[in-house]
Amino acid sequence: MDGNTTAPVVRALIRGVGHYLPARVVPNAEFAATLDTSDEWIRARTGIERRHFAAEGQGTSDLAARAARAALADAGLQPDDIDAVILATSTPDLTFPSAATMVQAELGMTRGFAYDVQAVCAGFVFALANADAMIRAGLARRALVIGAETFSRLMDWTDRSTCVLFGDGAGAVVLEAGQGVGSAADRGVLSADLHSDGRYRAALYVDGGVSTGTIGHLRMQGKEVFRHAIEKLAETAHRALDKAGLTGADVDWIVPHQANLRIIAATAQRMQVPMDRVVVTVQDHGNTSAASIPLALSVGRQRGQIRDGDLVVAEAIGGGLAWGSVVLRW
């Protein structure tokens, strides 16, 4: 989509944002009790200091519904004002129905439609692009776009190279159709850039599912994913900015997927955006997969970083590999 056509266009505007983190906080030191690891290693190699884990019996849909309620409250809207619930997750409570329909029921919504989007860590970017397209096509006027995960359920607790990296949480935004003039000065979603390449599916996957009759554990070739992330994230962000008729110099905030502080910093450097223009939450949340960007958007608003009118670039990469970015003006 071209952000600079200067003709009246429908824009998906951000009307509200919110998040939820489960109560249990796990500091790095807890892992050192059972694994050959240390707080120093985890901080130095990833930037992670702590993460939240969901309580026993607390499913992804529970986290998602709490984040959705917070976003609705921020928007000043009721559940029945929403036409579409789009939930990015790779850890739905059950194989089906979608966690999104569980959220719909939990919120008491009896109208509209709900479905999950599964693009692993890039899930929220895909869901946001999907919701934007729905709104511009007139299929929905207001959409709840949620990223929610309980990756703690996929961990192999004997594998120090993965189990220290991930956390649980949820974030949500409310999008609403509005009018723009078709320029990059418009508010709302301005452009998106999405990719996947299944040749790299073995770099990051879960070794279980319907075909094995088990939930399985997350397996990752960390170095391989790291290499792709460094190469692909700045590239996709630049492509999305280009589609909107903007450059890195126009960016107020990068809101990156929060997997590793070294990846976040390298991407910012490649985009020539200073780190004080990057929302960083990885130290407190770890990698929450599809929840990480909406969590960072919500925390970034709470901290007073992201202000009305600011230009935000969200970018992410994960299992698939799948990656992409969205440019929006708050």
Binding flag, residue 183, ligand UT7 (CB under 6 A): no
270-275 LR contacts (CB < 8 Å, sep 24+): 270/230, 270/233, 270/234, 271/234, 271/237, 271/238, 271/313, 272/248, 273/248
Judge whether 120 and 60 are in contact, CB under 8 Å: no
Q: Which of 4, 161, 183, 283 binds ligand UT7 (CB under 6 A)?
A: 161
Q: How many chain residues interact with ligand UT7 (CB under 6 A)? A: 20
Of residues 21 through 40, those in contact with ligand UT7 by CB under 6 A are 37
The token duo for 150 is 């309980």
The token duo for 31 is 């892992």
Catalytic residue flag (residue 287): yes
In the chain, the largest separation of any two C-alpha atoms, in whole Å, equals: 61
CB neighbours of residue 306 within 10 Å: 23
Residue with smaller CB distance to ligand UT7, 177 or 255: 255
Question: Minimal distance in Å, beta carbon 170 to ligand UT7?
Answer: 16
Of residues 83 through 102, those in contact with ligand UT7 by CB under 6 A are none
- The piece of 64-72, 87-95, 186-194, 225-233 that touches ligand UT7 (CB under 6 A) is 225-233
Catalytic residue from among 52, 228, 257, 285: 257
Catalytic residue flag (residue 121): yes
- The piece of 1-9, 41-49, 144-152, 273-281 that touches ligand UT7 (CB under 6 A) is 41-49
Residue with smaller CB distance to ligand UT7, 142 or 228: 228
CA dist 35 and 37 (Å) reads 6
What residues are annotated to the active site? 121, 257, 287
Contact footprint for ligand UT7 (CB under 6 A): 37, 41-42, 45-46, 121, 160-161, 164, 222-223, 225-226, 229, 259-260, 263, 287, 317-318
